[in-house]
Structure formats: C-alpha cells, structure tokens
Amino acid sequence: MVAEQIRLRPLIVAAGERLSAAGVASPLLDAELLAAHVLGVSRMRLALEPTVDAAFVDPFDALVAQREQRIPLQHLTGTAPLGAIDLAVGPGVFIPRPETELLVEWAVRSLDGVKAPIVVDLCAGSGAIALAIAHARPDAEVHAVELDPAALEWTRSNAKDRAAQGDTPIAVHAADVTDPALLSELTGRVDLVVSNPPYIPEAATLEPEVAQHDPHRALFGGPDGLSVINRMVPNIARLVRAGGATGIEHDDTNGAGVADALTTADFTEVARHNDLANKPRFVTARRR
C-alpha cells in the first residue's frame, strides 16, 4: 500500500505564517530549515521534495511549535554553521552568529604568508572561531580558551568531532582570559589572537532567543560592555609577537572603546570593521 503523499510547500508556508505571528525574525527561512532537518536534507534540496508522507507532519509540527515559543532554531536542529564548518550547539553555549564569519575571514587573511602560525581564541564558547581557523589553516597551532564549564563541554566535543573529520586538532584550555598568567608559555610567540567575548551592555534589550537561551555569562560585559575586553587586552598584548595581529568582536556601541584599549596597549594599524548589517562589529590591530 502506497503511503499518503502530502504537498510540502503548503506545510512550510503555513509554518512560516505561524512563526511570523510569534515574532520570529525570519519565519519562512526557519520553517524551511526545520523541514529540511526533519527530512535529513539541505534546505537547497527542498525543491526536490515536492511531497512528503504523513509521517513527516507530526515531528515537523512539534518543531514549529517549539520555535513559536522562541526556542532558538539552532537548539532545535542541534547545529550552527560558521563559514565552512558546522558546530554542535545547545543549552549552555553561545550560538555562533553569521556576523562572526567576517571576523574569521579577516583572521584567515591576516595569516597569509605566516608559516605554521600560532593562534589563540579567547572566550571560545562552542569553539567556532578556533575550529574555523584550524579548518582553513591545517598547519596552524590553535588554542581555544574558555572558562565556563558548560561551554567547555561543547568546545571539547566540537574539537573532537572536527578532528574526527580530518581537521587539525586544537588545544582546549579551561582558563580565565583575564588571568595575568594565561598561556604564559606562549608569551610573545602568538601570531594571532581572536575573540568574541561577552560584550553586551547590561541594560540592553534582547530578543527572547538570546535573553532566555544564550548563557548570560557569554553575553554581558558590564555596564558598557567593555569590562571583559578591557581586562583581557593586556594579555593579548603580552601574547602577540611583534608584528602579530588581533581581532576582537564587540557591541555596536563600543567600537571606539575597543580601539582605544588596543591603542593604549601599544597596538598599531587599529581598524574598525562593520558587520553584515553595516553596524560596527569588530576591531583589528597589529602589535607594534
């Protein structure tokens, strides 16, 4: 007996309307990604699946209902992309954002011509930046630093998964990025330090997906969003070799503060960069 076939596109459109009514920012896209997740295909292949059988409906509807409650899409699918890699994510770890891809692209470019570079990712979270760089530069020695125990589980798990897929293993450190003794064995030897630290000002109003599901420890950087950044810049200055570089992501209100901190720490070529929405998002600099 042939299973009943149901047209897929009307199901997705109806799900998109539900998500729109719930205030989801990208309702149709999220509905498509949830459908692709249930089917086990990429979103681009949905066009090749004009119909589905009845067994698709209940699990798809359950995921849409959870997304209506503003549970992050990435928690429902279990993954978040960053550049050329996918990271496992879930409760307890910050979800990588597309804006960070620009920082990763800059980081990889900054290593052009550097043989076997040493790279440090501070506030690594899921390990996204460190692992994306390790994927792009298999010859790199990459260190990921994270303090939060829950996030560390994701860092280590993603590092293990990427190594199993053939990427160069990275070193994961359970440490405070503001500790003056941090990675003392690498003092003056690091070619690149990158960081997506806690940088949101405490009074900021956030979407439910962020406020209710991303770890607060990974989000907030004091009243102005600079408390962690200002305290880790001296470590960055100590670690980076002469001529080495750093890139730090920040809230769109405090790019000037990050630039000032790096200038005061004797960095040069300080540059401010915008994100995909043309908002100030990260600052780069080179060690004098």
The annotation places the binding site for substrate at 196-199
For the chain, give percent helix, strand, coil, nearest 5. 45, 20, 35
Q: Give the chain's radius of gyration (CA, Å).
A: 21
Query: Are 148 and 220 in contact, with CB atoms under 8 Å apart?
Result: no
Task: Kindly list the distances between the CA atom of residue 268 and the CA atoms of 102, 136, 192, 281, in Å, as whole numbers in the listed order.
Answer: 21, 26, 14, 19
Which residues, listed in sequence order, are joined to residue 195 by a DSSP beta bridge? 122, 248
Query: Are 195 and 245 in contact, with CB atoms under 8 Å apart?
Result: no
The rounded distance, in Å, linking the Cα atoms of 92 and 218 is 9
Distance of CA 22 to the CA centre of its chain: 25
The rounded distance, in Å, linking the Cα atoms of 205 and 208 is 9
Q: Which two tokens stand for residue 85?
A: 């890699």
Binding residue positions: 146, 196-199
Binding residue positions for S-adenosyl-L-methionine: 146, 196
The rounded distance, in Å, linking the Cα atoms of 30 and 77 is 10
Burial of 266 (0-12, 13-18, 19+ CB in 10 A): exposed
User: Dihedral of CA 12/15/21/24: which sign?
Assistant: negative
Looking at residue 232, its amino acid is M
Beta carbons within 8 Å of 241's beta carbon, 6+ residues apart: 188, 189, 190, 191, 287
